[in-house]
Every structure is written in structure tokens, then in C-alpha cells.
């Protein structure tokens, strides 16, 4: 039986070779979407890449969007680009994504730019700035305000190409085990809060702590943390924070529209055929929109469940606390702008765009939202 199978396999290979010879002689091209054809033509080479994330495996939206991205790319490439997704700690730690992709441990990463401020001071501008641009405004600045070009410039020395890969929209401020009635109530609080928001929190008297997401629940449970921010109701409920904290505060002044980044190893990306490069770019754009749409659609129901079924106490930060946090934020961001020449250029671009878009939104989105709240006659 083994001899017969071997003989049959040999005959099939000879027939395939003969068919190829006939097609070539007739000026035809062999047509196949089967990955086995990779041995026949360069165009059918199958690329198997790894995508690492900063999020727990299968976390709604943040964790599942990279899986959707991989599936979309597989289908668009007709199986020529296969991507395996790893959650935080499966291949590398959630806060090791930047270095791992830069060094080629994986070809793609899905993460947040503000985690890398220690390497590149200006990265928060490509994630989120306290009291800065909203999600739709961030997308517009990156695409049409010069943001993408500046982003690529600061990542190029690290052998990386950044692209947007989702946006959280305006987040919640976070989960607390005590009430916040004044700035004094923040004194000494240990809170997981990354990026520039963490520096603002420090100057307001708190103690910011950087943790990868997978560690936060246990730290809240044991009291190692007094508070944590994460994203918004849909993700926060999935993470279970309502079981380890009493108060849920808004608005998310520290993350008004957080861009998630898809980073590619530059050498690997540029070695791909041009059509696969374009497919990967298109895949990130699809992921960018779907992630924001999913959070927009799911947050309201998740918040209802948290409040009505789990008894979460939803609280708004007092206006005087928000004003003080805004004043500190303006100082922090202005100081960051003076770090170096490239950060100053990024700051000028960002703030100029923000001023322009706020001017329009005053008579568009802002005015409409206020009109929608007017009482009926």
C-alpha cells in the first residue's frame, strides 16, 4: 500500500510538470489559488507571520480585533498571508511588543504608542493627549493633518512602520475604591494610569503605576492598586473590575480618543510583494474602523448592566477637579513639547489641528449635542 501511494504521488508530480510545460509552450499561465502552487510561481509564496499584542487573548474589541485583522488579510490575500495572533504573555509580555517587533521576534504588533514614551518622548501624541483630540479628530489628524508622516518619522530609526489600528473613543476615568470629591482625594492613591495622564495624576498628588492589563485585576483585588483606568464599560466589564472596585468615574479626560497602533517590522514589510503590503494597509484600516464601531455599539448596554445589574456607582468628576486636572495637563503637554526638535514639530502640528477642529465642532457636533438635549415645548 505504501509503495502504491508513493508511485501514485510520483505520477501526479510528473503530470503536473508536464501540464506546466504545455501551458508555458502555449503562452498560458498556470492558474491556482492552492498554496501548494508556491513551489511553481513566486506570486504564490505563502508568508506566515506572527502578530503580538498588549492585550489578553480574546479580550472583547482590543483582543479580538487583531484576530479579525488576521482573518481579513488571509481572505484578501487568497491565503498567501497567514497571521497567527498571540495575546500578551503568550510570546512576549504586553509591554515588550515594541522591542519584539523592532527586533523581528514577530512581524506585527498591536498595542498603544504611549507605552514607549521612555524610548521616544513624543509617542503620546500618537496615542492620546489629556484634554486633546477625540477619536474621530485623531483619525482626521493622522490621515489629513500630517500626523501619519510624523509618526513614521519617529519610528523609522527603530525599524518600525506604525499604522492606526483602532480607537477607543472617549474613555472612562476609571475604577476607584474611594469617592473623589476634590483633588485632595487623589493624594497618595496608587492608580494604574499610563502615558501623560499618569504624569498629570502624579502632579495632582497621586501615584501612577504602569502595569500590563493582565496584572491589573489581581493588583486591585489584593490592594496593591487603589484605582485603575482601562478603557470603557464594554472592556471594563469583561475584565471584571466591577468586582474589585466600588466607584466608576467619568469623563476620561486623560484619554479622550485613544488610537491603538499596528506596528510592522519595517524590513519584513518592505520585503513583501507590493500587493501584500497594500492588503496589510487595508486590513489595518478595516480594523481601525471596526474596533471603534464595536466599542460605540457595545458600551451603552455594558454600562446599563454594570449599573442596573451589578450595582456599580457611576460618578462624574466634580467640575473643579476637572478644571484643575486640565490646567495641570496643559503644563505637562507644553513641557513635553520642549523635549526636542521633533517633539516640538509634532506638538505644533497637533495643537494647530486641534484648534481648527474645535473651532468647527463648536458650531457642528457640540452645537448639535446641545440642541438634542433641549426640552420639548
pLDDT value at position 42? 53
Q: What share of the chain is helix, strand, coil (3-state, %, to 5)?
A: 55, 15, 30
Which range, of 10-19, 156-165, 261-270, 326-335, averages the lowest pLDDT?
10-19
Is residue 152 a contact partner of residue 162, using CB atoms and an 8 Å limit?
A: yes
SS3 assignment, position 42: helix
pLDDT value at position 43? 56
Work out the pLDDT band at 214, boundaries 50, 70, 90: confident
Residue 4 has pLDDT above 90, yes or no: no
Residue 319, C-beta contacts closer than 8 angstroms, at least 6 positions apart: none
Residue 184, C-beta contacts closer than 8 angstroms, at least 6 positions apart: 205
Which range, of 13-22, 318-327, 331-340, averages the lowest pLDDT?
13-22
Which range, of 14-18, 133-137, 158-162, 262-266, averages the lowest pLDDT?
14-18
**Predicted confidence (pLDDT) per residue in 321-338, tens digit:** 999 999 999 999 999 999
Q: How does the average pLDDT of the chain come out, rounded?
A: 90
DSSP secondary structure letter of residue 13? H
Please state, in angstroms and as integers, the Cα–Cα distance from residue 157 to each residue in 120, 161, 265, 317, following that order.
Answer: 10, 10, 11, 41
pLDDT value at position 20? 39
**Domains along the sequence of the chain with CATH:** 46-168+258-296 (3.40.190.170)
Work out the pLDDT band at 3, boundaries 50, 70, 90: very low
Is residue 230 a contact partner of residue 240, using CB atoms and an 8 Å limit?
A: no
pLDDT value at position 158? 98
Q: Which of the pair, 25 or 103, is modelled with greater confidence?
A: 103
Percent of the chain beyond pLDDT 70?
Answer: 89
CB count within 10 Å of CB 79 equals 14
Is residue 258 a contact partner of residue 197, using CB atoms and an 8 Å limit?
A: no
**Predicted confidence (pLDDT) per residue in 40-54, tens digit:** 355 589 999 999 999
Q: What is the average pLDDT across 221-244?
A: 95
pLDDT value at position 212? 83
Residue 276, C-beta contacts closer than 8 angstroms, at least 6 positions apart: 47, 77, 80, 81
DSSP-assigned beta bridge partners for residue 81: 47
Strands 174-176 and 227-228: antiparallel
pLDDT value at position 5? 39
Residue with cell 512576549: 92
Which range, of 35-49, 92-106, 113-127, averages the lowest pLDDT?
35-49
pLDDT value at position 44? 83
**Predicted confidence (pLDDT) per residue in 184-203, tens digit:** 999 999 999 998 999 999 99
**Predicted confidence (pLDDT) per residue in 286-299, tens digit:** 999 999 999 999 99
Residue 13 has pLDDT above 60, yes or no: no
- How far, in Å, CA of 287 to CA of 278, rounded? 14
**Predicted confidence (pLDDT) per residue in 236-279, tens digit:** 999 999 999 999 999 999 999 999 999 999 999 999 999 999 99
Amino acid at each position: 500500500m505504501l509503495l502504491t501511494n508513493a508511485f501514485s504521488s510520483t505520477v501526479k508530480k510528473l503530470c503536473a510538470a508536464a501540464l506546466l510545460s504545455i501551458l508555458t509552450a502555449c503562452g498560458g499561465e498556470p492558474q491556482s489559488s492552492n498554496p501548494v502552487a508556491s513551489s511553481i510561481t513566486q506570486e504564490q509564496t505563502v508568508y506566515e507571520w506572527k502578530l503580538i499584542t498588549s492585550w489578553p487573548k480574546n479580550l472583547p474589541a482590543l483582543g479580538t480585533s487583531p484576530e479579525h485583522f488576521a482573518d481579513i488579510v488571509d481572505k484578501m490575500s487568497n491565503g498567501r498571508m497567514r497571521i497567527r495572533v498571540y495575546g500578551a504573555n503568550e510570546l512576549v509580555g504586553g509591554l515588550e511588543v515594541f522591542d519584539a517587533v523592532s527586533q523581528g521576534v514577530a512581524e506585527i504588533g498591536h498595542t498603544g504608542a504611549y507605552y514607549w514614551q521612555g524610548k521616544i518622548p513624543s509617542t503620546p501624541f500618537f496615542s492620546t493627549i489629556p484634554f486633546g483630540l477625540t477619536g474621530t479628530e485623531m483619525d482626521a489628524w493622522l490621515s489629513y493633518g500630517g500626523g501619519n508622516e510624523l509618526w513614521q518619522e519617529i519610528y523609522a530609526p527603530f525599524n518600525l512602520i506604525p499604522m492606526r489600528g483602532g480607537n477607543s473613543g472617549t474613555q472612562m476615568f476609571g475604577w476607584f475604591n474611594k469617592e473623589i470629591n476634590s483633588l485632595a482625594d487623589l493624594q497618595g492613591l496608587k492608580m494604574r494610569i499610563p502615558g501623560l495622564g499618569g504624569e498629570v495624576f502624579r502632579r495632582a498628588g497621586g501615584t501612577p503605576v504602569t502595569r500590563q492589563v493582565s496584572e491589573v485585576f489581581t493588583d486591585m483585588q489584593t490592594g496593591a492598586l487603589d484605582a485603575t483606568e482601562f478603557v470603557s464599560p464594554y472592556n471594563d466589564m469583561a475584565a471584571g473590575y466591577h468586582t474589585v472596585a466600588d466607584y466608576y468615574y467619568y469623563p476620561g479626560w486623560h484619554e479622550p480618543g485613544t488610537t491603538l497602533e499596528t506596528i510592522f517590522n519595517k524590513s519584513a514589510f518592505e520585503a513583501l510583494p507590493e500587493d501584500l503590503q497594500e492588503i496589510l494597509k487595508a486590513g489595518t484600516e478595516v480594523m481601525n474602523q471596526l474596533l471603534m464601531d464595536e466599542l460605540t455599539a457595545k458600551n451603552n448596554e455594558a454600562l446599563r448592566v454594570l449599573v442596573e445589574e451589578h450595582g456599580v456607582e457611576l460618578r462624574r468628576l466634580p467640575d473643579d477637579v476637572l478644571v484643575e486636572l486640565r490646567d495641570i495637563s496643559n503644563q505637562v503637554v507644553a513641557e513635553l513639547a520642549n523635549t526636542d526638535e521633533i517633539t516640538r514639530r509634532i506638538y505644533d502640528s497637533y495643537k494647530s489641528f486641534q484648534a481648527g477642529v474645535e473651532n468647527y465642532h463648536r458650531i457642528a457636533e457640540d452645537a448639535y449635542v446641545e440642541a438634542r438635549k433641549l426640552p420639548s415645548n
